[in-house]
Structure 1
């Protein structure tokens, strides 16, 4: 059969990787897809650089709309990123009857409902394996491999930058700002790392997985998002002493009869769990289904060729399915469009989890009793408690320095409670005269 022709919008890190892997493995890919797959047209503002990457056999243009308008192009690969021009071009490609492959998690998390509805009406496919966890085939696992299951929850380390930073903080005992600068020097963090370190990137990916797992619309605007900028080496060390490690998790869970939890935040995970031992810039996703139990998906979550692996897997899928009846394709969000339910995302006050608390207090009689009394009155049960001499000079919270004999750290692990209840108890504890600094609260998940 004649090779299927692909137009590539953007040939940066992922785009160049996609072109290179597709050329390198073309025979293997053809054997799997049933026909050849060729990138025959590339749009990029830096046309000179693009021509140097693809050579004379590929048409290079500066105008992405020229790719969409080309009647020979059957699949458009969108690797521009962002939610501005990328959205416009994707909708134009769909309207022109082109199948679309994208790695754009931000666009799908914010505008996915609109995009998938347009694709359904046009009878085209929007494939997006590369949008979540790079080379890990988690979208395919959720949409197809686990389709027999009622998914209960998903927990993922889905941002390599933050996982690298937390791994370095734990290994070297350094605080966040120091490790961030090192991550930027090594190329693990962008010059402006805001989307990564504030949890936004992970929230985009968690939103997409939640929609597929539970058959609900994408609802990024309702996700609870916290990053890692306020974490200290002190808390990482205390967590380790208690048998836990701190990871930035994207977490979503079904709450029967109530709704769905959708949240990203630093989380204490038992050190014995496999996901707690995922280090450096690697990604991992844990999925719990009622039939299969708990499954783990691990690998490189970013980078040129790992992400290209997912892009090309989508190209193969689209090539196989392009001529099939649209009504018999795997739905974009796993559930048939008419069966997607507008289940609410729970406000954070209604989330139920357990907690790590650290209180810096005056080392005086009665403080522990007052703190535990407040928790007891709120109905919050204590699972473990440590008392440690504060290891900072008075008036600082740097996590290093000379011990201060008149201060102590109380570290408390609680059993599960409602977030709103915990917030009320924290407000009361913060008001105690003996509490000397803002209370540190980190959520905890057993992932069992």
Structure 2
């Protein structure tokens, strides 16, 4: 049968050549020019020709599933552009939702399209094969491989997509579920992206195995809810290593304050050059975790120091409540070596002055120029400053208790793993 068809087509082409005319052939078809996969109802299909054309008034096209006709065009029309020139044969269907997971063939009968300049030049039978996929076709994730720090992971698809409901992905750490993460579906020019958000830059520990799982049915084709993604899993190894040093402030004007009923400008002093991130803020929390204010933060230089500052505009603090001022992680960076600041907090108890930033079990007291600490975390780094910002001691704890001799003074500021306390020498 195929042999006879080929002979017939060859005979037609030979006849046209003998008459001085070649068959009218399209340059491309929109159904298969980019991809042969159809992720939407069948509506308009265009064949493009390199000249102006006309279509027979009763022309009809068909879609076959094997030998069976499953769709018939509602109209076949033409449009011409004489500047190029170009002709379009436009085949219209009435948004036919073909069953998914099947292969189809669009057939335009022979001779229904002809050249406007030479009507003897007509089309041979046009056949375009395509599929309606069972599921979305996934291509890749970005980033991939080993990952140090990221705020978003993206799953890419070969067609435009939308979210189904409010999808969430799951982050696994060493095989155990660690976090549920929101998923946003976006698209552009036949490309779909399922973006998994961490909310902020997230560090993935060096050598630790992670996975992100996007559940089946999180997203679908933009125009067909029934063509959905299969469950997708991205495995990667963390590559984040702690920097060789930490970026810490040496002073805060909270240490000098006596009246905590209102907050205006608050600043943190660094003895090296720093720059602020574009979205840097200082955050005011009512303990334990109620965010009260987060004004924009900036950096200015004063003498040999650099100040990270923000103005809280005279906000009132309620008496007998605990508050903390937080420098969010990654808000500032050291110019010299690019080290980013981790989150740092300073606590305030209105009416009693400086206090621990949280309900930490660490006990501390300063008696006779000796700082005594207990219930310390293993390996805790303890740094002590005088009230004028001079470092008095820096020790890494080898046990849960520690005693540090100090110079004479009435008060000191103690930082334990980045958490700040003010102690009075008794």
TM range (shorter): under 0.3
Structure with larger RCO (C-alpha < 8 A, sep 6+)? 1
Larger Rg: 1 or 2? 2
In terms of fraction of residues, the more helix-rich structure is: 1
In terms of fraction of residues, the more strand-rich structure is: 2
TM-score (norm: length of structure 2): 0.22
TM-score (norm: length of structure 1): 0.21
